[in-house]
Amino acid sequence: MTRTFAARLTTRLLASLSLAASAALAAGPLQDGEQVYRDACAACHGPGPVDAPKYGDREAWAELIAEGQHVITAHGWVGVRAMPARGGHDELSIEEFARAVAHMANAAGADWRDPTGDATLLGRIRLEEADRRRQLALD
Ligand code: HEC
């Protein structure tokens, strides 16, 4: 009897804790895409000499957008050619990085959404990331 009660209490406590945790995540201490772009990406993707796909350059982004959100997000996260992993900003979460990618792609005509809380999209990004890491290890 007491054990059942304790078990029920524990279950309820855990449920409310995880609710609180997801509410905190949704409200987010995470930076939004524009902020991340300005702080961590604009140095290369903004105006300047670096040969990166530039913010707002539809031509440069068209092919990347066609590759798909999960693909180029994962490739940028892992690093690709002259693009350092995470843009060299290890403090970024994958959600923040993905928000910045969506922000840049949308500035070039895409209609990508914020993947935060979208388990399907985040799952596809993680799968592509794993594929990419395997490929790079084989190269
Ligand atoms: C030090 C310079 C530098 C910084 C900082 C940087 N990038 Fe890049 N990025 C590049 C370059 C250069 C390329 C082009 C790579 C190539 O195709 O050779 C690139 C390409 C990309 C691509 C395309 C990847 C693909 O699949 O071809 C994405 C997405 C991307 N960057 C996202 C970001 C985001 C988001 C940030 C900020 C968090 C960021 N980058 C910060 C230099 C940078």
Q: How far is CA 41 from the centre of its chain?
A: 13
Which region among 20-24, 79-83, 126-130 has the lowest average model confidence (pLDDT)? 20-24
pTM over 0.75? The answer is: yes
Q: Each residue of 71-113: pLDDT tens digit?
A: 999 999 999 999 999 999 999 999 999 999 999 999 999 999 9
Q: How far is CA 111 from the centre of its chain?
A: 15
Ligand 1 touching residue 107 (CB < 6 A): no
Of 39, 55, 70, give the one whose Cα is nearest residue 109.
Answer: 55
CB 105 within 8 A of CB 69: yes
**Taking 50 as the threshold, does the pLDDT of residue 17 lie above it?**
no
Better pLDDT: 93 or 27: 93
Ligand 1 touching residue 112 (CB < 6 A): no
Atom of ligand 1 nearest to the CA of 51: 12
The pLDDT of residue 18: 47
CB 57 within 8 A of CB 67: no
